[in-house]
Amino acid sequence: MGSTPDGPIWHGAMRERNLAILLRAIATNQPVSRAQLASLTGLAKTTVSNLVTVLADAGIVRDGQLLHEGERGRPGVAVTINSDAAAGLGLEINVKYLAACVLDLGRRVRYRHMVALDNRGRAPEAVVASLAQIVDSAKAAVAEQGLSIAGAVVAVPGVLNWAGTVHAPNLGWSEVPIASLLSEVVPPLRLPIELDNEANLAALGELWFGLGPEAGDFVHVSGETGIGSGIVVDRQVFRGAHGFAGELGHVTVEPEGSVCACGGRGCLEGIAGQEAILRAAGLGEAARGDGSGDPRPAMAVLVEQLQVGDPAALAAVERAGRALGLAVSGAAKLLDPDTVVLGGIFAPLGLWVRPVVEEELRRSALHGSSPRVAVSPVAAESAVLGAAGKVIELVHADPALLLR
Amino acid sequence: MGSTPDGPIWHGAMRERNLAILLRAIATNQPVSRAQLASLTGLAKTTVSNLVTVLADAGIVRDGQLLHEGERGRPGVAVTINSDAAAGLGLEINVKYLAACVLDLGRRVRYRHMVALDNRGRAPEAVVASLAQIVDSAKAAVAEQGLSIAGAVVAVPGVLNWAGTVHAPNLGWSEVPIASLLSEVVPPLRLPIELDNEANLAALGELWFGLGPEAGDFVHVSGETGIGSGIVVDRQVFRGAHGFAGELGHVTVEPEGSVCACGGRGCLEGIAGQEAILRAAGLGEAARGDGSGDPRPAMAVLVEQLQVGDPAALAAVERAGRALGLAVSGAAKLLDPDTVVLGGIFAPLGLWVRPVVEEELRRSALHGSSPRVAVSPVAAESAVLGAAGKVIELVHADPALLLR
């Protein structure tokens, strides 16, 4: 009400909606002719033609490849997604590393970068300065491929509030104004930089680049220093009333266990988090004496020890698997997902952790079936892929963002 | 695609959509004139007039009350919801009773009925036969008020599958073909009889007739013999991938506890369910020796003993509250609700249970805040109210159901 269907506001919204419909049809059916697009979308041929021109001028689609429709007839002109113009940058601030990933509009990975850094001891300003360098490197590297970064999403291992601050206990960050720190050192892109929780982005990374829709509704468990989960329902992340949903790492699994930094007792993270597993397996940083802060060697050593049947390693991973199974069983009873996806460190440990989690789920299957347990094929990369994918998703959902 | 905006399918769908829009506007703004309705809905005045006539002919709205718009001008004719024609019947099969409730289209309770019955020992056919008698009584009682029951929803304390069978361990029912049993003894109504889980309907009863929208996104805990929960997100019940979401009663709260019938260990239901609390308080059926199967006297005795500070009663309810608090804390971390609502037996026990649950939630509040804990004002009636409310909701969402 207020504006009429012929008024400019309505018209603009319609045009934006039609641009998005058209772009989805191109992405799904490329290469595709204007005539096919008109038939796929129900839009008039002149509307299709006008909007394809708008998208092509903005570098979002490419126009011109010859297309033979069927055996006879003259060739049409095909429209395809332009994979050589705008790109999305995913960034990840992890406790133990920084990572970046660039996707083109066709969702292909065009650049990836990871640098091991123990960010726990570092000032947020220093971490953000490192991230700014990574952005510069990414920009330069993809510019050589003809790509220009249109937007970025940053995955953070903590909870964001609406004011742009992040609370990340595993980094030692309490209400750090991450948004303003980033805006001071990262030059503006065409789209505003967005922040999101790593567990949510890891779940989206799994949806878009890992198991995908075959996982149905799923709970994606991402574990490193902390343990988080992302809940995907109808291909959307379930975020809760305040954006805090999915805190699997602080579900109590040992009611008589030790007190966690969160105030709870026997939290999953304290038993099945990376440090807890390594410590229980005799592979903690102190035991190894390298003080490197780099987790991968230790995780690699753990996997080796599991493969040769080291009793301490097997016991540590078994206990972690039982605790994870208990927490995941509770989550499955509340959420009734199709699949539980083991991501993060639980992916390389999948051979040992998955059977234990499956057993816990099956033992108390309420309705004759329990969710499938799958190991993430993207694992440690899922958050940064999800972050980059979210930029591409934003553009696909509203291509007009790149026209403004 | 396929049908044009002028084709009959499209036209029918538009008309049904407009009927629903109009009925919502009438329900929210009644008494309301046709002119006001045209302005509220954006529909043309002639469309409003035609559709009001359709709704009035079907007995859904009433037309004719004089309405003065402002001080001057001639009086308009007001449209109101017709509270004296179609009605919705809610039915509940509980382990310990059967209940019915009739709501008119204005959502006022016009009839309620409850009969204590220990349904655990009874054949499903006998339970359904009792329910059919209750339907007959309800029909007769509301007919005297000029109401005719248009549809019914039945709350069952178990899990339904798509084939119309119910699995209700607390009733001793395994895959009982409840839909066909009902259709054999309950004469058809204008709308097909629907079945739903009592925990989901109790949450809807809370939303529509209890705390309402002020609860925001909430988890409604309903406990009697079993413990269930209904998760409400954006005013909808969250059902999960297979309709089994919300099984709070089988979340493990004592990992070393005894094995539950479900196969799990230390399930909440075994510690905080009605029978478990009464047993721990020395008020189990065996201890009382009445074998009546009627829970209310025992619950009333329990409340009395709590009020006089009986140590066994206080300890039993404290332990149940701790277990409930632990399960609810886990749920809150996964779901991030605004409110946790204590329903069913936890409502009369609210004075003692609520502080314990609040303490558990606060102890491990992750982000500086934990959900509010509220006691249900509708408690034991929430499921049957939700069932009747669902019929009214179906009619409001698609009034054309009553025109076919």
pLDDT of A262 reads 84
Burial of B329 from C-beta contacts in 10 A (0-12 / 13-18 / 19+): buried
The closest of B333, B403, B342 to B373, measured between CA atoms, is B342
Q: Which domains, from first to last, does chain B contain?
A: 8-81 (1.10.10.10), 86-202+383-402 (3.30.420.40), 211-377 (3.30.420.40)
Q: Answer whether B254 touches A (CB < 8 Å).
A: yes
B309: pLDDT strictly greater than 80? yes
* Paired residues of A79 in beta bridges: A32, A63
pLDDT tier at B13, thresholds 50, 70, 90: confident
Instruction: Return the residue of A nearest to B231 by Cα.
Output: A334
- The rounded percent of chain A whose pLDDT value lies above 90 is 71
pLDDT tier at A403, thresholds 50, 70, 90: confident
pLDDT of B100 reads 97
CA dist list (Å): A197 to A183, A200, A202, A237, A246: 18, 5, 9, 11, 10
pLDDT in tens, B107-160: 999 999 999 888 987 999 999 999 999 999 999 999 999 999 999 999 999 888
pLDDT in tens, A62-108: 987 776 655 555 567 899 999 988 999 999 999 989 999 999 999 99
Kindly list the residues from chain A whose CB atom is less than 8 angstroms away from the CB atom of residue B337.
Answer: 240-241
B334 with A252: Cβ contact below 8 A:
no
Written as one string, the DSSP assignment of B19-74 is HHHHHHHHHHH-SEEHHHHHHHH---HHHHHHHHHHHHHTTSEEEEEEE--SSSS-
Kindly list the residues from chain B whose CB atom is less than 8 angstroms away from the CB atom of residue A331.
Answer: 334
A373 contacts: CB under 8 Å, gap ≥ 6: A339, A340, A342, A354, A357, A358, A361
pLDDT in tens, B14-65: 888 899 999 999 999 999 999 999 999 999 999 999 999 999 998 999 987 7
pLDDT of A67 reads 67
How far apart are the CA of B358 and the nearest CA of chain A, in angstroms?
A: 13
Q: How far apart are CA B221 and CA B225, in angstroms?
A: 13
- The rounded percent of chain B whose pLDDT value lies above 70 is 91
pLDDT tier at B388, thresholds 50, 70, 90: very high
pLDDT tier at A3, thresholds 50, 70, 90: very low
What integer is the mean pLDDT of B97-108? 94
Mutation pick from A328, A334, A358, A362 vs chain B, by most beta carbons of B within 10 Å, is A334
Candidate from A30-44, A71-85, A175-189 with smallest mean pLDDT: A71-85
Q: How far apart are CA A230 and CA A195, in angstroms?
A: 15
pLDDT of A64 reads 77
More confident residue, A58 or A390: A390
Kindly list the residues from chain A whose CB atom is less than 8 angstroms away from the CB atom of residue B335.
Answer: 240, 245, 334
A334 with B329: Cβ contact below 8 A:
no
Mutation pick from B366, B369, B370, B372 vs chain A, by most beta carbons of A within 10 Å, is B366
Residue A304: other Cβ atoms inside 10 A: 11
Instruction: Return the residue of A nearest to B230 by Cα.
Output: A334
Q: Which of residues 131-160 of A touch B (CB under 8 A)?
A: 159
Kindly list the residues from chain B whose CB atom is less than 8 angstroms away from the CB atom of residue A253.
Answer: 255
Instruction: Return the residue of A nearest to B243 by Cα.
Output: A336
Q: What is the mean pLDDT of chain B?
A: 89
More confident residue, A284 or B1: A284
Q: Is the ipTM of this complex over 0.85?
A: no
Q: How far apart are CA A257 and CA B114, in angstroms?
A: 45
How far apart are the CA of A262 and the nearest CA of chain B, in angstroms?
A: 6
Residue A40: other Cβ atoms inside 10 A: 18
Give me the residue from B244, B253, B367 closest to A159, CB to CB: B367
A116: pLDDT strictly greater than 90? no
Kindly state the DSSP code that residue B283 receives in the 8-state scheme: -
B263 with A239: Cβ contact below 8 A:
no
Inter-axis angle of helices A382-397 and A198-209, to 10 degrees? 70
Kindly list the residues from chain B whose CB atom is less than 8 angstroms away from the CB atom of residue A370.
Answer: none
More confident residue, A375 or B85: A375
What integer is the mean pLDDT of B86-109? 94
B8: pLDDT strictly greater than 70? no
pLDDT of B63 reads 87
Candidate from A17-21, B69-73, B208-212 with smallest mean pLDDT: B69-73
A289: pLDDT strictly greater than 60? no
Q: Answer whether A250 touches B (CB < 8 Å).
A: yes
pLDDT of A11 reads 59
Among A32-41, A73-82, A227-236, A293-302, name the most confident range.
A227-236
Burial of B290 from C-beta contacts in 10 A (0-12 / 13-18 / 19+): exposed
B383: pLDDT strictly greater than 50? yes
Identify how many contiguous H helices and E strands chain A contains and give both numbers.
13, 16
The closest of A155, A176, A159 to A94, measured between CA atoms, is A155
pLDDT of A119 reads 92
* Token code pair at residue B392: 């009214």
Contact predicate A170/A198, CB 8 Å: no
pLDDT of B33 reads 92
Mutation pick from B10, B43, B335 vs chain A, by most beta carbons of A within 10 Å, is B335
Contact predicate A7/A14, CB 8 Å: no
Residue with token string 């033609």 = A49
Direct distance between the N- and C-terminal alpha carbons of chain B, in angstroms, rounded to an integer: 26
Give me the residue from B239, B247, B363 closest to A366, CB to CB: B247
How far apart are the CA of A381 and the nearest CA of chain B, in angstroms?
A: 23
Q: Which of residues 13-52 of B touch A (CB under 8 A)?
A: 42
pLDDT of B222 reads 92
A367 with B242: Cβ contact below 8 A:
yes
Q: Answer whether A178 touches B (CB < 8 Å).
A: no
pLDDT tier at B3, thresholds 50, 70, 90: very low
Size of interface A-B (CB pairs under 8 A): 133
Q: What is the mean pLDDT of chain A?
A: 89
pLDDT of A72 reads 57
pLDDT tier at B290, thresholds 50, 70, 90: low
How many residues can be counted in chain A?
404
pLDDT in tens, A349-368: 999 999 999 999 998 777 76
pLDDT of A5 reads 41
How far apart are the CA of B382 and the nearest CA of chain A, in angstroms?
A: 20
What integer is the mean pLDDT of A308-326? 96
pLDDT in tens, A224-282: 888 999 999 999 999 999 889 999 999 999 999 999 988 889 999 999 999 999 999 99
Candidate from A74-83, A328-337, A376-385, B68-77 with smallest mean pLDDT: B68-77
Q: Which of residues 338-377 of B touch A (CB under 8 A)?
A: 338, 363-367, 369
Kindly list the residues from chain B whose CB atom is less than 8 angstroms away from the CB atom of residue A327.
Answer: 330
B349: pLDDT strictly greater than 80? yes
pLDDT tier at A287, thresholds 50, 70, 90: low
Sheet holding A218-223, edge to edge: A236-238, A227-233, A218-223, A339-342, A372-375
What integer is the mean pLDDT of A172-185? 91
How many residues can be counted in chain B?
404
